[in-house]
Chains A and B, each alone.
Chain A
Amino acid sequence: MAEINLVGLTKTFGDVVALNNVSFHVADQEFVTMLGPTGAGKTTTLRCVAGLEKLEKGEVDVNGSNINELPPGQRNMAYVSQHYALYPHMTVYRNLQFPLDKTNLNAQQKKQRIDEMAKILHIEHLMQRYPSKLSGGEMQRVVIGRAMVRSPQLFLLDEPLSNLDAKLREELRFELKRLQKEAGATTLFVTHDQIEAMSMSDKVVVIHQGVIQQIGTPADIYSYPANTLVSSIVGTPPMNLAPVVVEDGHYRIESNGHLAVLPKSYQNVLAAGEYLLGVRPEDVKIVPESTPNALDAEAYLIEAFGYEKLIEINLGNVRIRARVSPRVQVKVGDQIKIHFDEHKMRFFKTDGSLIRA
């Protein structure tokens, strides 16, 4: 049982504000991911929670008690960093046993814990090997096991999958999530990879330059990004954006002059003026010539991925993308008609913030 509450964390390094009033809550057994580009403040937050960085302002609360002054060793948290190291002169078994040496467990209890961990991580067959004989993925599992074997109340994971190749990352993403659910471990996870954030998290905290941009479920931040920064970080390719002018219940796409009726939900929400229209690639449909109110566009490039195609589309001088079925037949240079899914259109102010309909 463990929950974390972060209140107004602030931290500067020289002139750089690494964290600017960062507050969020990680509930018991919840998997929360901090997502953001390099330098966003993700790792700094994690290190503050672990007690490896001293805060200038703010509070780290665990289960309702302020632990700002508690030394790292007494926080009962497991911290796995990107640069993991196993003891090279110890077998996997010994590596897993090491964190238990200082505990009060008796020999049998220790063995039981290690065996359990080995089973969960599927590393039973590796127990007598030395780290130099392990693959990257095996090593990473041992590192995670070593962090978990103490049954800490909190897991802090800093890009634990980033040094692995793509296939292994996919596999471990699933295993890590499964493990977390089985163990019911409260987890704060840091990554720059939006797929990891989307696939593993109960809740995502999007952070940029030390400032939280949005907190929400993966579905929330995908469907209703709070601003264009979030819309560009979440989803690949990112949400399409096109400048539009709104007037009399209509919007006009500036790059090609196309005029269309506003979606119903936005009819009474948008005042006349300039906005950014956002549409996810899968909500851009290629439609037959005869479709009413369709937009004229040009297919600039087709990328075929087997299970889907991405069509790069020119709307005048604005480039957007459509994610379509592999059966859609379009060639480079074709003049096509497109249509946006009315329920999935989002409008942003010119400063980038979402207007909720």
Chain B
Amino acid sequence: MASVELHDVVKRFGQTVAVNHVNLKIEDGEFLILLGPSGCGKTTSLRSIAGLEDVDEGQILIDGEVVNNKRPADRDMAFCFQQYALYPHLTAFENIAFPLRTQNMNHNEVNQRVREVGKLLKIEDIFPRKPKKLSAGDQQRVALARAMVRQPKVYLMDEPLSNLDAQVRVDMRAELRRLQINNRITTVYVTHDQVEAMAMADRIAIMDKGVLQQVGTPDDVYVSPANLFVANFIGSPSMNFIPCNYDAASHGVRIPVNGETILYRLPVNVKQSISDIQDGTELILGIRPEDVYIHTEPVDDGFDCQLVLMEALGSENIHHLQRGNLHFVSRTSPADVYPVGQSVWVTLETEGIRLFDRKTEAAI
């Protein structure tokens, strides 16, 4: 059991700042996911916690103790990295048992622990095989089992499900998360997949270009993204972004569309929170697809546009709407079907409207 802290951590590779003054505390027993696109610094942060990278500035603390100078092996963490280096001469079983054997654990207990984790990850039938006889997905599961067979202070995992096919990944993420809920071992997990992050994490730390953008529960980052980057990265389809200008006279926004202007009145609660903004301020109105409502008749506070395409995904319908240069999407239940190619009217869910400053890209 342990907490992990990063205090103002900086890591450079030549001219590149891979991790830029990151401050983050992972609580004891927490499942924290580092999320971001490739090159955002998430893996480097993880490797710094592991002790596989020396940080240039700042401190790494485990349970309040600075471990910058501790070797990886002395940090009592179990790793599972994307490049799973299995021992080629050992069977899957012996690969998993290896960390236990080095602890001089007795034979029966080793057997029992390996079988337990093997059952959980559904790899018991490949125990006798050597790595080169295993598919990439199975190798990944063996590497994961090897990390999980121990009960360390902290699990560190870097995209441990990336080589599995889609359906297996959905099963495995549930097993992994449920295991962690049971044993409450502090876990830091890296992924670029926002669905995985939303599904598994207690909290998500989103990074871009080495900088921490937001830390919060899945609900926080979905409902109240701190900036445009987070708003765009979380959720699929993405949040709709509509460039607009603040209209002080009407407490609304002016949306320029191919030479015309749509005036959209903002709901009361939004108005109050932005009362100090100057007329004409360049904003972006953000709205999630499920908060865009379609009507087949003109409605108050609605604006008209073309329904250009519908994607029927089975469990939901995605409607693509267009008016001039504006393109946005609406998510509805599969039962809601509208006439494609025709004019429809759109309203926005009051609660769902988010405003961002177009210059700083920060949420207002």
- Min CB distance, B302 to chain A, in Å? 22
Complex partner residue of B199 from A170, A280, A303, A332, CB under 8 angstroms = A303
Could you say which residues of chain A place their CB within 8 Å of the CB of B308?
178
Q: A300-B178, A307-B235, A312-B174 are in contact. Are A199 and B311 (CB under 8 A)?
A: yes
| B318–A281 touching, CB < 8 Å | no
Could you say which residues of chain B place their CB within 8 Å of the CB of A195?
313
Could you say which residues of chain B place their CB within 8 Å of the CB of A178?
308-309
Q: Which B289-337 residues have a C-beta within 8 angstroms of A?
A: 289-290, 308-309, 311-315, 318, 320, 331, 334
- Min CB distance, B6 to chain A, in Å? 26
**What 1/0 flags go to B208-239 for Cβ under 8 Å of A?**
00000000001100110000000011111110
Q: A178-B308, A198-B311, A236-B170 are in contact. Are A306 and B232 (CB under 8 A)?
A: no
Complex partner residue of B218 from A218, A304, A310, CB under 8 angstroms = A304
Could you say which residues of chain A place their CB within 8 Å of the CB of B167?
232, 236-238
Complex partner residue of B314 from A170, A174, A234, A305, CB under 8 angstroms = A234
**What 1/0 flags go to A158-172 for Cβ under 8 Å of B?**
000000011100100
| B174–A301 touching, CB < 8 Å | yes
- Min CB distance, B264 to chain A, in Å? 22
**What 1/0 flags go to A286-308 for Cβ under 8 Å of B?**
00000000000000110111110
- Min CB distance, A173 to chain B, in Å? 8
Complex partner residue of B177 from A170, A301, A305, CB under 8 angstroms = A301
Question: Does B134 make an interface contact (CB < 8 A)?
Answer: no
- Min CB distance, B296 to chain A, in Å? 21
Could you say which residues of chain A place their CB within 8 Å of the CB of B195?
305
Question: Does B288 make an interface contact (CB < 8 A)?
Answer: yes
Question: Does B165 make an interface contact (CB < 8 A)?
Answer: yes
- Min CB distance, B151 to chain A, in Å? 21
Q: For the complex, what is the distance from the CA of A127 to the CA of B231, rounded to whole Å?
A: 31
| B315–A282 touching, CB < 8 Å | yes
| B314–A306 touching, CB < 8 Å | no
Q: Return the chain B residue nearest A304 by Cβ.
A: B218
Could you say which residues of chain B place their CB within 8 Å of the CB of A332?
178, 181
Q: Return the chain A residue nearest B196 by Cβ.
A: A303
Question: Does B249 make an interface contact (CB < 8 A)?
Answer: no
| A165–B37 touching, CB < 8 Å | yes
**What 1/0 flags go to B157-176 for Cβ under 8 Å of A?**
00000000111001000100
Q: A305-B195, A307-B331, A310-B199 are in contact. Are A219 and B312 (CB under 8 A)?
A: yes
Question: Does B355 make an interface contact (CB < 8 A)?
Answer: no
Q: Return the chain A residue nearest B173 by Cβ.
A: A303
| A237–B170 touching, CB < 8 Å | yes
Q: Return the chain B residue nearest A165 by Cβ.
A: B37
Could you say which residues of chain B place their CB within 8 Å of the CB of A282?
315, 334
Could you say which residues of chain A place their CB within 8 Å of the CB of B318?
199
Question: Does A150 make an interface contact (CB < 8 A)?
Answer: no
Could you say which residues of chain A place their CB within 8 Å of the CB of B174?
300-301, 303, 312
Q: A199-B313, A332-B181 are in contact. Are A37 and B165 (CB under 8 A)?
A: yes
| A218–B165 touching, CB < 8 Å | no
Q: A167-B238, A301-B177, A303-B174 are in contact. Are A174 and B166 (CB under 8 A)?
A: no
Question: Does A200 make an interface contact (CB < 8 A)?
Answer: yes
| B222–A306 touching, CB < 8 Å | yes
Could you say which residues of chain B place their CB within 8 Å of the CB of A310?
199
Could you say which residues of chain B place their CB within 8 Å of the CB of A170?
236-238
Q: For the complex, what is the distance from the CA of A223 to the CA of B174, rounded to whole Å?
A: 26
Question: Does A251 make an interface contact (CB < 8 A)?
Answer: no
Which of A282, A303, A332 lies at the interface centre, i.e. has the most chain B CB atoms within 10 A of its CB? A303
- Min CB distance, B340 to chain A, in Å? 10
Could you say which residues of chain A place their CB within 8 Å of the CB of B200?
303
Q: Which A62-112 residues have a C-beta within 8 angstroms of B?
A: none
Question: Does A184 make an interface contact (CB < 8 A)?
Answer: no
Question: Does A323 make an interface contact (CB < 8 A)?
Answer: yes
Complex partner residue of A305 from B193, B199, B309, B334, CB under 8 angstroms = B199
Q: For the complex, what is the distance from the CA of A237 to the CA of B169, rounded to whole Å?
A: 10
| B315–A281 touching, CB < 8 Å | yes
Q: Return the chain A residue nearest B322 by Cβ.
A: A178
Q: For the complex, what is the distance from the CA of A237 to the CA of B315, rounded to whole Å?
A: 10
Q: Return the chain A residue nearest B166 by Cβ.
A: A236
| B311–A304 touching, CB < 8 Å | no
- Min CB distance, A269 to chain B, in Å? 24
| B232–A167 touching, CB < 8 Å | yes
Q: Return the chain B residue nearest A173 by Cβ.
A: B311
Q: Which B238-290 residues have a C-beta within 8 angstroms of A?
A: 238, 288-290
Question: Does B198 make an interface contact (CB < 8 A)?
Answer: yes
Q: For the complex, what is the distance from the CA of A300 to the CA of B309, rounded to whole Å?
A: 38
**What 1/0 flags go to A184-222 for Cβ under 8 Å of B?**
000000000001001110000000000000000011001
Q: Return the chain A residue nearest B181 by Cβ.
A: A332
Question: Does A235 make an interface contact (CB < 8 A)?
Answer: yes
Could you say which residues of chain B place their CB within 8 Å of the CB of A222?
314
Could you say which residues of chain A place their CB within 8 Å of the CB of B331?
307
| A280–B309 touching, CB < 8 Å | no
- Min CB distance, A254 to chain B, in Å? 20
Q: For the complex, what is the distance from the CA of A307 to the CA of B198, rounded to whole Å?
A: 11
| A301–B178 touching, CB < 8 Å | yes
Question: 29 A-B Cβ contacts within 8 A?
Answer: A167-B232, A170-B236, A174-B309, A178-B308, A195-B313, A198-B311, A198-B313, A198-B314, A199-B311, A200-B311, A219-B312, A219-B314, A222-B314, A235-B314, A235-B315, A237-B167, A280-B315, A300-B174, A300-B178, A304-B218, A304-B219, A305-B222, A306-B219, A306-B223, A306-B235, A307-B288, A307-B290, A310-B199, A323-B315
User: In the complex, given contacts A177-B311, A280-B314, A306-B198, what are 17 additional A-B residue pairs having Cβ atoms less than 8 angstroms apart?
Assistant: A166-B194, A174-B320, A178-B308, A198-B312, A199-B313, A218-B312, A219-B314, A238-B167, A282-B334, A303-B174, A305-B195, A305-B222, A306-B222, A306-B223, A306-B288, A312-B178, A323-B315
